[in-house]
Amino acid sequence: MVAAGHSKDECWETIWDYEVRQFETSQRFRTEVKDRYDDAGVDLLSVTPWVHETGVSERDGQRRDLSRWQARFDAADWLRKVTAPAEARRVAASDEVGIVLNTQNVGAAIEGSVNEVDVLYNEGVRIFQLTYNYQNGVGTGCNDHSEGGLSTFGRDVVDRITELGGVVDVSHCGKQTTLDTIAYADAPVAVTHAGCQAVADHYRGKSDEEIEALAEADGYMGIVGLPWFIAPGVDDPTLDVFFEHLEHARSILGTDSVGIATDFYPADTQFPSELLAYYKEHIIGLGFDRENVEQRTIADGLGMFETYTDWPVIRGELENRFEPAEAAGILGGNFLEYWERAR
């Protein structure tokens, strides 16, 4: 398509639209996708309706991708939109795969209207990250050069999310916005996917002060698995660095309040090189540092954990390092218990 004169934005969008059409029209494709989940032992995950193309608003891009996810749900009888912890537990006990929808930039997606939180909630979104890397009307992002904190409008948004029973997520928020939100919210707050700055000094990590505040508020933290967040500047990091972050968070929050959030992108080395290069530029444009992004590809993992299908590697490492009940909690049980507390 690029050779034919189409933009890389158009190519990227076409890939996702084609994948949805495969879901809708090909039983073989649906079976292959289900087999990958089964082989990995994954029965519940959270996904982000994303803005893939430039020049499109956060609101419109998220709505477009939400419609793609609804098409997948409609096409595959084994794929379930999960909107409550009880549903998640039912799916985990069945042969189905559950999806918890999240938004990673609600402050931009609602365009100044608190009522738009209801629209997202009614579409099935249950995890609401307040900011992405930069400031929006709700608060300050983690890669901003100033600390504005949670705004008055942000308080209204937090109130609406908690009234609805959604999860308030501060993973990409700046330090002051994170602390303000934890202190203000009526329900426990989550850091669904981040690292620990005490282990690796990166803006996508949380300081001990933030993690301690989260612990005092009975919150939850998922440790991210992207190499340039948790091992910036390190060539070929292994899973050991991931467990350093997990152990540090656990030392503050306790074993029952930590989990895993890979944050992996669904790409691999079979993606066309031009599109991989384009997507790197895209995520750099979202506020990620060029040096560390260019060090890795978006398909890179951590040691033996390279793709979603390598999830058994994580499970095996946890079972070697923790008691069975602790490992089960970190693998997902802790998040479900947190979600129940936050509703």
Which has the closest alpha carbon to 77: 122, 19, 31? 31
The 3-state secondary structure of 253-308, one letter per residue: HCHHHEEEECCCCCCCCCCCHHHHHHHHHHHHHCCCCHHHHHHCCCCCCECCECCH
Amino acid present at 243: F
- Quote the CA–CA distance of 212 and 219 in Å, as a whole number: 10
Which structure tokens are listed for 309?
């299908």
C-alpha distances in angstroms, 205 versus 112, 140, 276? 28, 15, 25
Which has the closest alpha carbon to 314: 97, 94, 42? 42
- Quote the CA–CA distance of 130 and 144 in Å, as a whole number: 14
Which structure tokens are listed for 5?
């004169």
Report CA torsion sign: 295, 300, 302, 304.
Answer: negative
pTM for this predicted structure: 0.91
**Which helix or strand (DSSP H or E) is residue 190 part of?**
strand 190-196
Task: Work out whether strand 44-47 and strand 79-81 pair parallel, antiparallel, or are unpaired.
Answer: unpaired
In this predicted structure, what is the pLDDT of residue 272?
Answer: 60
List domains and CATH numbers for the chain. Answer: 76-342 (3.20.20.140)
Tell me how crowded residue 146 is: count the other CB atoms within 10 A of its CB.
Answer: 9
Which structure tokens are listed for 253?
């929050």
- Quote the CA–CA distance of 282 and 267 in Å, as a whole number: 14
Tens of pLDDT along the chain (343 residues) come to: 445 555 666 776 787 899 999 999 999 999 999 999 999 999 999 999 987 666 788 899 899 999 999 999 999 999 999 999 999 999 999 999 999 999 999 999 999 999 999 999 999 999 999 999 889 999 999 998 888 899 999 999 999 999 999 999 999 999 999 999 999 999 999 999 999 999 999 999 999 999 999 999 999 999 998 888 898 888 788 999 999 999 999 999 999 999 999 886 554 555 566 666 666 666 666 666 666 665 555 556 788 887 778 899 999 999 999 999 999 999 999 999 999 999 9
Length of the chain in terms of residues written: 343
Contact (CB, 8 A) for 197 and 217: no
Contact (CB, 8 A) for 80 and 96: yes
Which structure tokens are listed for 190?
């989550």
- Quote the CA–CA distance of 187 and 209 in Å, as a whole number: 19
- Quote the CA–CA distance of 22 and 17 in Å, as a whole number: 9
